[in-house]
Amino acid sequence: MPGPILKPNVRANQLVLVGRIHDRKDLRVLPNSMPILECTLWHESQVTEANADRSLAFLMPARCLGSVAERMARLQIGASIRAWGFIAPRRQARHESADQARPATSLIFTINEFTLGE
């Protein structure tokens, strides 16, 4: 399955990340009957920054909802996935404008879709 196409003229907040399921919580259901699953992905890669090679390795907190959460719940710890989604504050801040906003202290990868493998 190919990844989503970036939409033109839209402020972009789209992430594609390859990683392994490091751990996950039990599938639960929100009050609106929506399944939700929280997990952590382990990512390792080589990137170029300022014309220098750099190795990255980090844990990324993630969540998914609905049928994506139900599919993710069936995967084994250690399964390799390619995931598409966006980055969001773990808790939504309430503010009227950017002038009143505070920097997010914790971000989470919201997964909209994934495939197995790298």
Report helix, strand or coil for 66: helix
Helices (H), 1-118: 66-73
pTM above 0.85, yes or no: no
State pLDDT tens for residues 66-112: 999 999 999 999 999 999 999 999 876 665 566 666 777 789 999 99
Longest dimension (CA), the chain: 49
Q: Please spell the DSSP secondary structure of 67-114, one letter per residue.
A: HHHHHHHTSPTT-EEEEEEEEEESS----SSGGG----S-EEEEEEEE
State pLDDT tens for residues 8-52: 666 789 999 999 999 999 999 999 999 999 999 999 999 999 999
Strand partners, 15: 85
